[in-house]
Structure 1
Amino acid sequence: MTADPARATPLGSAVPVWAALGWAGILDAFTLAIAGATLFWYHEVSPALPTSVTVPAVLLVVLWVLPMTALQTGRVRPTWMRLFAVGLGAYAVPVAIATYALLTETVEEAAPMVLVGFTLLSVTRVARTAEMVRQSRNASHRDPLTRLANRRLFQDRVRLALADPDRTCGVMFIDLDDFKNINDSLGHSVGDVALAALARRIEETVRSSDVVARLGGDEFAVLVHDEPVAGLAALGERLVARVAEPVEVAGHRLHLHISVGIATADAGTDYDELIRDADVAMYAAKRAGKNRLAVFEGGMLEDRLDRLDLEAELRAAIDAEELTVVYQPIVDLRTGRVDGVEALVRWYRDGRLQPTQEMIQVAEETGLVLPLGRFVLRAAAAQARAWRRQGLQLNIGVNVSALQLGDPEFLDAAREAVAALGDELVLVLELTESTLVGGDRAAGLEDAVERLQELREIGCRIAIDDFGTGFSSLAYLTRLPVDILKLAGGLVTGVDRRDRDASVAAAVLGLASALDYLVVAEGVEHPEEAEELRRLGCTLGQGYHWARPASPEDLHPYLTTWGRRPGAPVPLPVAGVVAAG
């Protein structure tokens, strides 16, 4: 990647045109005054002085020697002295011509040479000012990192297109998916290179007549002229596919993905409406799973506004700790005792339970999952201490998202929770396979191993949630420092019928036993399933067969009877039992 032009040339500090002309005018007047005084002084007193020596010496001292000496010795303020030395230094040529003319000719004969000198100066100054203007304009219309059009220039181009009655236009709004993960895991310098690579791929894919801009952060836009919606969609699909191709960035092989929103202008559409519609469509693409495009439709705007309201209310609920944490027991299949619980967050919005999946999706899209996760950790640790005071010894499991895993503050939050639980209880962090490895398996695996090792060192145990629904590669499984596999409910349902799914479940249990992993079977709903899992060697189970997620108060009778007491065997791995592999 080429060097950042904004860092190589200080375009952002270019002098405005009026300021440049203002200083030049002041210096012109000052120098003309010196030249005029010299002419007058020479005409009046030259017969009495050895002017062939005196005048050049005086001018040299005034224009160069004194300023530079003062500047180097620090006896004057550098800012003003720099201006004096550099400013008058630029006028050395015309002053020298004037001095030479005065020393060799009469005043009348010297005048044309003086005029030539100052004309030369003016031409030089105008050329320099024009270059400053060009650089200043270029800096104000170009993104310094990618050299694409910036938001201001893109806005101008879109408005010109909308004002042309003979042409149609549309906009593609582009957002780089999960860009924060790149910055957090690989650093902002790698993130900058990734943005520049994305910019080049966009330029290579669109037409030369299209206007490509970086609007800020990881947001880009393309203005396309005279293309129907179908053509825009086809262009967007090619762009999504092109960006998804692997790219080498600072020694890392990355798989970039984008979400694209497309909107076209109708009669009377203004810039703000067009960009808003494309932005709304882009968010629709993200909600649909990212790495895709969506074309704006009327109902999307209402959905987006509802989403913004949902985000604002969720933020307020997290800040006020108005969310509810419920717990689902995890049962030892051999004894029926409750070994621990999984903490699950619920949000009652206006008295009605908000769909949990929608709440989590909004939290992850907006970054609210970070404070939400910290709230659940605190609440779960406090509840575990409350149960311990009641004579119950229950381990705690909490779900962790990719954003949390990459958050520098998460390690401290987990450390506080472990300290609150004490040595008797275990904090289990549950992560999905996609969270652990991410879209770029090589880079994601490397980062995941490092972070999981840090979490295990402070006393956490790591579980792969919904195991069997992702790639489930043995190569990755053996390298990740995990302790527990939570078998996905889809592999558990009907396991007692001993069909194909039952064979898969049996194979996973055999694999876990060989690798010394503990297995928790999720989604157990019938006693026959629990018995078959126990027969296959599964240690723990979780599901409606025993209890639904419920509040501590509702679970109290069940836990009082079946909860594990101090001194009972602990099936969950304790610190240091399972090697990282």
Structure 2
Amino acid sequence: MQLTRLLTKQLTGFWFITLSAVAGGMMLSSLLAFNHFTQSFQQQRLINLQQSIFNQYYGKGDLHDAPWLSDMLAALQVKELQVFDGKQRIFYYLPEIAQETPTYKQHRKQRGNITIVIGMDDPSVWSLLDATEYTVLAICLLLVCALVMGGYYWFRRQLQGIEALAARSMLILKNDLIQAENFHDKARPRVANRAITQLLAKLQDASRERARFDTFIRSNTFLDPQTGVGNPMFFTSRLEALSLNQKMILPGVLFVLELEELDWLQQNHGEGVLVPLLSQLCEAINHLLSGLPNSIVARRSDNQIAMIVPQISLAEAENLAKKLIKICLAQNLPQVEEPDNFFHLGLAYFREGDNQQQLLEEVAMALRAAQLQGNSSWFMYDKGAIDEEFAKGSVRWRSILENALERQQIKVFCQRVEATDKQELHSEAFTRIMDQHGSLIRATLFMPMAQKCGLMPMIEKQAIQIVVAKLGRERRGKPVYSLNLSVDSLLNKSFIKWLTNFCMEHRPLTPQIIFEVSEDIVVKHKDELREPLAMIKAMGCKLCVDHVGLQVQDSEYLHDLGVNIIKLHRSVIRQVNQRPENQLFIRSLMGGVFRTDIKLLAEGVETFEEWQTLSILGVDGGQGGFIGEPLLLT
């Protein structure tokens, strides 16, 4: 763009100098031609006068007897005339005007003994012009200058239109299509500018259509067409994402809601009654679980709806079960044989390390126990002692978290993110806290409690300070780190103000920082997050959206928010080499970011087969146990 502006300035300067030189050359040529014409004309008159004098003298012998001579000399504006015969002057003419202005040029001509000396004014241009002619000449000069300057400014405006067109083209090359589409400068040529506007509009429509098509593909792959929640394949995939080698990696609760006599209802009342009932029920359940992060709702079978809610306590699970039964009983059921015995809910609490298959058996037993109670009710499988770390009360957790913040006991671990060609892309930073006994508490345990206590902004603030301090001490290369931001921090005005000032203070290091935000947060709070995310981009940091694929979402936000990196959720990556539906999901997502600068990365890569399949599919990179475990940032 700078080169284009420089070339247009040079072109306008060259055009102005050339046009000025042409105009000046024409004026100078006209003056020289006029001067040459006057000189030639005077020389011809002088020759004729000399010839007449010689003829008069040699013909009649006396110049005083020629009355026409005085009139002719006055007409020719002769200032002085002397005629010599040898050294004797025989005729002399000097008018009174010549006496007042004695400066003139003498012309000498000799024939035999006769010598004629004629004095006449030098026929220069300026001496021949009067006031009127000077005025006309000045007007012509001003008109020429005005035309030259007007042409120069017109030409410069046209080239500025070309510069504007080049600037708009540069925005397109930078994939800033929204700003290019809203470009209001008067670009020239207008035909090219209108063509670009039309093509951008069509490209925008094509992008929206592609996003809708991708959403359609993912919906048909993972969503139940009747209820709009996940299908059995979706449930199995997400449950396996919460486990590693059939062992659960997070605590939480599995709910299974069974609708009795659903087959009888379908046979007697048809799809027209069944589908609205299931849709309204699933919509109410989704609304209830919307405030619980990473919760999953799926249709496990024709008459079962499964829900997975990680990282909640036993008391919260019991309270949630009561609300679910209340929602079910509020549904408007058609005439069935036992309306009070239509809904049954089974719960199974799982801890970290529990067997996945055993969890499914436990929730099945809890469901049978609820059915044996006779009425629409819920039952939780009694596993005994709940995870001691997770069962701590809110007051206890607040005390632990506040002490960790006060003593700066936030520890940062980094996991390598690697490209498919083994090149390190960046490292993702994870936080852990140290309790009063010196033990490290995992983020999966303390983060839900930190969110409930409103301490996430303070924790993430310390994590950012630790990472930036590490970047400031780094002397070898320019490593890049990514940090996670929660919705509490992004919607906290004081945190955003602090982050803005902090990034401005460390502006040289911001290109080495990536901020990660969960896809679920971005979609739910897109309008509220637009300004904070734009600030992050303006400070020079990059934006990453992680947990992509945990839920089926519309991907239009990728272009609207200027996302640089997206990370696939581990549920999509788990056994991707054996799951064609997950591969189809990845391919559809890659189609949405084709020919853009958005990098597609994978989370939770645990085996060589998964990594190999991702490489074949064209994923840019990934992270996980197969690539490298998290290490303490020192």
Q: TM-score, normalised by structure 1?
A: 0.42
The structure number with the bigger radius of gyration is 2
Q: TM-score, normalised by structure 2?
A: 0.38
